[in-house]
Every structure is written in C-alpha cells, then in structure tokens.
Structure 1
C-alpha cells in the first residue's frame, strides 16, 4: 500500500475494520486523541458485559452504532461487518488492518498476558482470531475485503504493525 497517507485520507469520520487483535482499538484511540474526536469501540456496543459473553440484541446494537455515526466527526472501530456495513455510508475514510491471523493471535496473547491461558473466553477469542482468513460471515476476511473494495471514498489497507505505527506517526505529524 502506498504511503501517501494521510493527506489523501479524509479523516473526518474514520471507520477502522480488521480481525480481533489487529490493533483497531490501539489505532482508534491514538487517532481520536490526536484529531480530538469521539472514539467508538463496537465491542462495547455489541457486548452487554465486559466478559464478552452476552451479546446485545442486534437492533439495539445497530441503533447505538447509528447514533455514534450520526456525530459530525468520529473514529469508529470494530470487527462486526454487519454493524460496519450500516455505518459505511457516513464514513469519509475506511482503514482495514489486514494483519496475518498469527500476528493477531500473538497480539491478543500479549494483551491478555495476565489472564489464565486455560480460560474459556480467552481460548475462544484466540480461536476466533486465528480463523479470520477462513471465517464465514460478516466478521471474516472475505466480508471485510468486500466492504473495503466496495468503499468509494478514501481508504487505506495496513498489512502489519510497522505500517500501523508509521500511519499513526504520519497522522500525528500532519493534522
């Protein structure tokens, strides 16, 4: 991917997609702080509890996501293609963190280092992240690829942590 960002990206309303563990929250937090815009993590909308075990009813989650996307400026990030596809029309930029599944699994292991390796929810999350390329449904690679390819405004695909870090540095220098 070319490094002509972010001058060519309209970061007014930025949507960030990618696998679990790809760095969406890390990137969104830094962009939102620098651009001084609200940041919405779709995990906090999708899940009722912190433990990621009880999903919010779909219509309620979509309603909350639409409210976040109705703001004038924002950064919204998440893996949930079914929610993202509802918000993509309001976005001025789409960033796809397209890291290798193995890198995402390793990132989750680092992030969750204090948790018990045998904990069911952690095992499920690691399995989920490891299946991104083959996973069917709106939260898998193929669905994210379709969203990315169908997005007609400014977009950027970042393939590894170094590209993500370089992008953050560029955003912080230019805006």
Structure 2
C-alpha cells in the first residue's frame, strides 16, 4: 500500500462528512475508523466530556497503530496525533452545508433536544470560534502539516478525491 495512506487524519466542522469519509477510507484501507467524539465524550451521550488526560491518553494509544483513519472536530485531540499522520484531509465545507447535514441526520448518540440545539449553534459558529476546534484552529494544524494534505471545500471535491484514492489503492 502507498505509505501516504497509512495514517490519515480528517478534520472538519460537524456535519462536514468526516465520519462518512473515514468509513469509506477505512473500508478501502482495511482498518477501523476512529471517531474523536467517542474519545472526547463519556459513553452514553454528549453531556459529559471525558477527563482531558484520559482523552489524550486514549487518542495517543489509537495513533500507535501502523494503519488508521482518525476523524473529528477536536483540534486539541488531533494535535496529539498529527505527528504520526501521513496524510491530512480538511473538510472545509460551507457552514450551510454542514448545518443541513446535521439537521438531516438529527440527534444521535443519546442527544437531548438541548444538546442537539447546542450542536447546531456549535456548527454555525465554526468560522467565528477561535479555538483549536474551529476553522482557524483547523487551518493552523493544516498549514503546519509537513506531509500530504488536502483541503476539500465541497461534497463534490470530497467524492472526487475519494475516487482518486480508491483508484490509487487499487493500482
């Protein structure tokens, strides 16, 4: 297998398609996708974040493997594994597209009406936040990444890029 596809880190806003892309890439590459939501939050919902030290240790363990696809919005967790990644993909889609996707999929994972409303507000604020889990935070990680990187700005770009990966992996 092409070494650039060994350890892929996918960043993006909620609703950008990170989990969808990670699932497709993992199937192509024969590995399990890792969702940073499952690391950031305690099991059972989105109302209790995991202790930061526990989340950091967990994501570092996940990144010890020789082949992985890790995806998420949490820039502070992505920063813990970025040095092991061989490829970074930033799904920098329009906020309206991300909001529509979140609304389409609806609440999940034990989300309450209040936590779903908070997720919609969080998604809408992606370009304005100044945290590691924002457009500017993802941009800083992306700009500093020394290996292969792809910034995809539309669903069409994502599908076209994935088609190229599938072709490269099959060759």
TM-score by length of 2: 0.92
Asked if 1:13 corresponds to 2:4, the answer is: no
Q: What is the distance in 2 between the residues matched to 1:144 and 1:50? A: 27
Q: 1:158 aligns with which of 152, 155, 163?
A: 152
Q: 1:133 aligns with which of 127, 139, 144?
A: 127
RMSD across aligned positions (CA): 1.7
Q: Which runs of 4+ in 1 moved over 3 A?
A: none
2:64 is matched with 70
Q: What is the distance in 1 between the residues matched to 2:29 and 2:143? A: 26
Offset of residue 88 of structure 1: 0.4
1:93 is matched with 87
1:22 is matched with 16
Q: 1:84 aligns with which of 69, 78, 81?
A: 78
Deviates more, 1:148-157 or 1:105-114: 105-114
Whichever structure has more helix as a proportion of its residues is 2
Asked if 1:110 corresponds to 2:111, the answer is: no
The alignment covers a number of residue pairs equal to 165
Offset of residue 107 of structure 1: 0.6
1:4 is matched with none
Q: Mark the runs of 5 or more structure 1 residues left unpaired by the alignment.
A: 1-6
1:169 is matched with 163
Q: Mark the runs of 5 or more structure 2 residues left unpaired by the alignment.
A: none
Q: What is the distance in 1 between the residues matched to 2:72 and 2:131? A: 14
Q: What is the distance in 1 between the residues matched to 2:56 and 2:69? A: 16
